[in-house]
Amino acid sequence: MPDNTVNILFIGDIVGKIGRKAITAILPKLRKKHNIDLVIANVENLAHGSGVTHSTLEEIQNAGVDFCTSGNHIWAKPEGVNILGMPDSPVLRPANYPPGLPGHGEKILTIGTKSILVINLLGRMFMKASPDCPFRTLEAILTNHREKKFDAIIVDFHAEATSEKKALGLFVDGKVSAVLGTHTHIPTADEQILPMGTAYMTDVGFVGATHSVLGFSPESSITPHILQLPPKADIPETGTASLCAALVTVQSSTGHATHISRIYQEVNI
């Protein structure tokens, strides 16, 4: 990597087997094409739409994912909770969950000569969980690391409300390299560099079945709306898959972003 920049690919929520296969098919070429230094992916939906397991995590790591963030579904499988508790776990859980839970909400990564801080947060608006304030949590994390020099600071804000996401981005504009939203699985067309140098995108999107409802089959998603029955986790395993991501370039000397762009690719699985 050039001494003065870091290229980071941030991949949205990976949903199920078809999402993992899309990562395997597309990611190696993306890494080469864009000279990617670090690949981060959200894995809260990795194992059949909810949670993560050792085998599903290994599958995307073999394809080129370096580090992982998550969200409210990361607790769905006991195996995933064990992964969070590993001493050098490659998966974050939101930092603003109550103290005492397994895992960590922040991690300092060393990539070559570069030091990169990754932070994971959970939103509060329209979410079933009731975490601590993401704004104050993020502020406390940055204060705790104020004596350290990072080449980049990346924040995954796993949240429902677009207003909450944009507010957090502006709250830390110039203090972090990027605030990238996850959770809604729908990529937004608002990628931008905020006035003080933070790359921002309300939602990066997801990786999974293109002709689906957030990665789940249309039939299993439409019926609950009509009959008011609980939804079933029916995820297509073949067909067209989409990969949504954000490509961010950060100036190491300032920690500010100089570029952000949406990545969207389809592949037949």
Show which residues are catalytic.
73
Query: Coil, strand, or helix at residue 258?
Result: strand
For strands 114-122 and 152-158, give the pairing: parallel
Using CB atoms within 10 Å of the CB of residue 3, give its burial: 0 to 12 exposed, 13 to 18 middle, 19+ buried.
Answer: exposed
Is residue 215 within 8 A of residue 243, CB to CB? The reply is no
Of 220, 224, 225, 173, nearest to 200 by C-alpha is: 173
Phi, psi at 155, each rounded to 5°: -115, 125
| CA distances, 57 to each of 83, 224, 239 (Å) | 10, 30, 22
